[in-house]
Structure 1
Amino acid sequence: MSGVSGHDGHMPRVHPRTTPAGRAVLMVGLPAAAALALVYLLGVRTRVGQLFDDRVFGWFVGLGPSAHALAPLLRTGVPLFLGAAAGVLGLLAIRQRRWRAAIGSVLLVALSVVASLTLRDSVLTRPDLGVPGYADNTLPSSHATITVALCAAVLVLWPAQRRRPPTATVVAALTLTVLAAASSVVSWAHRPTDVVASALLVLAAGPVVMCLLEAARRPAGRRT
């Protein structure tokens, strides 16, 4: 087969775009990072964006007593549930020797949370453009980041009888994640742009984790 080794006996140089991780970076990681930057630049750095964000914020806050009663339960309960599910599935993955899924899930959650806290507290700022609301920058939401990352971890760690988790599992996990993210807005904890940015951040972090796992595997592959 061509592409296995060169005429001189050395492994060929593989272009990043030919690997799954490289394709994920180009098709998911870079677009998600660009969208995250756009959400910040338009939603935080412009007066029109702040006003639009504030109007959407007000709509969520005005959903009524039922939404406000459920919001704290969802905001706290969903991450705990997803975390417990990810823990159980992670142990099962280790037992099945699915090391890539187990390590990748831990890396995804850790990288996403560290990046979220760093961006929010040390990198990004929020200018005062005369729009009422929190003065400090709150983008991205670390709470929403944890929830989205745990949702991704559950789907990655799902037992590998099939290549993908059942559709019902995917829909249920995504629905819970959306509800938990929305509850952060309903309960005044975060602006809408904060939770959107969190989802985009996790999407951008996924291909980075794939590249790290691929790079860690490559030396072993070259020795065989």
Structure 2
Amino acid sequence: MTMNPTAQQSPTAAPGRALWPWYGALLLLAAAFWACYSFFVTTKLGQWIDEAALRGGEAFLAADKTRGPALAFLDHMPAASALLAAGFILFALVRRHDFVRPIVAGALLLGSAGSTQLLKHVVLERPDLNISEASMNSFPSGHTTFAAAAMATIFIVTPVAHRPLLALLGWGYAAVAGASTLVLGWHRPSDVIAAYLVVAWWSVLAGLFLRHAHGSSAAPATTGNQTRAAPERILRFLAILGIPMAAGALALAVAMPHPAIGTVGNVQLLLFLAVGLALVLGTAMVAGQFVHVLFARYGAPIRRRFVRGMK
């Protein structure tokens, strides 16, 4: 009987090739982060657009009655996000006897939050270009990083069948958290975008580690029903919408006049706030779809126990 060599070797052939998308994604996200920093933080035009969007947020929510509940939401967001992530990690440990993914998910959360603080306070600097009164570096946003990273930890420990819904809800939550920091005048758009890129980078690193740990003997489970699931279609649609929305908003911001920042009226500031929101929301949806597709196509299978058959 003649055996088909392709069928025999397909699960294990060229194992290193299956890891190329992960390494490529890490490089792409790192390049996007550096491009975001280089333009929005180190150039006068980028700082101007960032600052105009921030001042637009301050002008939009100037009333104390409006700001109070929103500020309370931001104050409690890190703790609420951490509790939610911890609950899912604990469930994976106790209910499914899964040890590897919860540990990796915890490392993702700590790595994202820690690297954000390191980048913000030690590695990166914000040059004073006479645009902003605040010269202290706020890039990336710590609040947004924690919110997005908490959702990413839940995504890591969630079974494959439920990941499209978790990706949609998780990155939707991260988008709301990032938009809130902009509207309330806590962070500039680039701070939020950088936070998404940091979390996406750590999510990819976690996925790469799991792919190494679980090997390439089994492909991730995908079915026609999962591919056509409503949450996955919605996330894909939002990502497709987010690309031209963010690109168009940035092109509009670059094309508009940039007078002395203190002379810009409220109408123009609100327009730049809309630009900032488009950049934030568009980036969140694209990042969510990017991570989800990478895990769906190239991710390692979930194993409910670290050692098969362990009692």
Q: Do the aligned residues in 2 keep the contact of 1:29 with 1:206 (CA within 8 Å)?
A: no
Residue 209 (structure 2) aligned to one of 186, 206, 212: 212
Say what the alpha-carbon RMSD is for the aligned residues. 2.4
Higher Cα radius of gyration: 2
User: Is residue 2:69 matched to residue 1:62?
Assistant: no
Shift of 1:214: 4.2
Q: What TM-score do you get using the length of structure 2 for normalisation?
A: 0.59
Q: Which residue of 2 aligns with 1:50?
A: 47
Q: Which runs of 5+ in 1 are unaligned?
A: 6-11, 219-224
Matched ranges for 1:69-218 at <5 A: 69-95=68-94, 96-158=96-158, 160=159, 162-165=160-163, 167=165, 169-216=166-213
- SS of residue paired to 2:161: coil
1:13-38: CA deviations, max 9, x gaps?
732x313xx42332x32222111111
Shift of 1:122: 1.2
Q: What TM-score do you get using the length of structure 1 for normalisation?
A: 0.80
Q: Kindly tell me: are residues 77 and 133 of structure 1, through their superposed partners in 2, closer, same or farther at Cα, counting changes over 3 Å?
A: same
Q: Do the aligned residues in 2 keep the contact of 1:140 with 1:198 (CA within 8 Å)?
A: yes
Q: Kindly tell me: are residues 14 and 176 of structure 1, through their superposed partners in 2, closer, same or farther at Cα, counting changes over 3 Å?
A: closer
Q: Kindly tell me: are residues 180 and 73 of structure 1, through their superposed partners in 2, closer, same or farther at Cα, counting changes over 3 Å?
A: farther
Q: For 1:13 and 1:178, locate their aligned partners in 2 and report how far apart those are by CA, in whole Å.
A: 38
1:138-166: CA deviations, max 9, x gaps?
111222211110011122233x3x52336
Q: For 2:28 and 2:66, locate their aligned partners in 1 and report how far apart those are by CA, in whole Å.
A: 33
Count of residues in correspondence between the two structures: 205
Residue 2 (structure 1) aligned to one of 2, 6, 9: 9
Q: Which residue of 2 aligns with 1:41?
A: 38
Q: Quick one: percent identity of the two aligned structures?
A: 23
- SS of residue paired to 2:162: coil
Shift of 1:124: 0.7
Q: Do the aligned residues in 1 keep the contact of 2:147 with 2:173 (CA within 8 Å)?
A: no
Shift of 1:175: 2.9
Question: Which structure ranks higher in relative contact order (CA pairs < 8 Å, sequence separation ≥ 6)?
Answer: 1
Q: For 1:170 and 1:111, locate their aligned partners in 2 and report how far apart those are by CA, in whole Å.
A: 20
Query: 81-90 vs 206-215, which deviates more?
Result: 206-215
Q: For 2:173 and 2:9, locate their aligned partners in 1 and report how far apart those are by CA, in whole Å.
A: 46
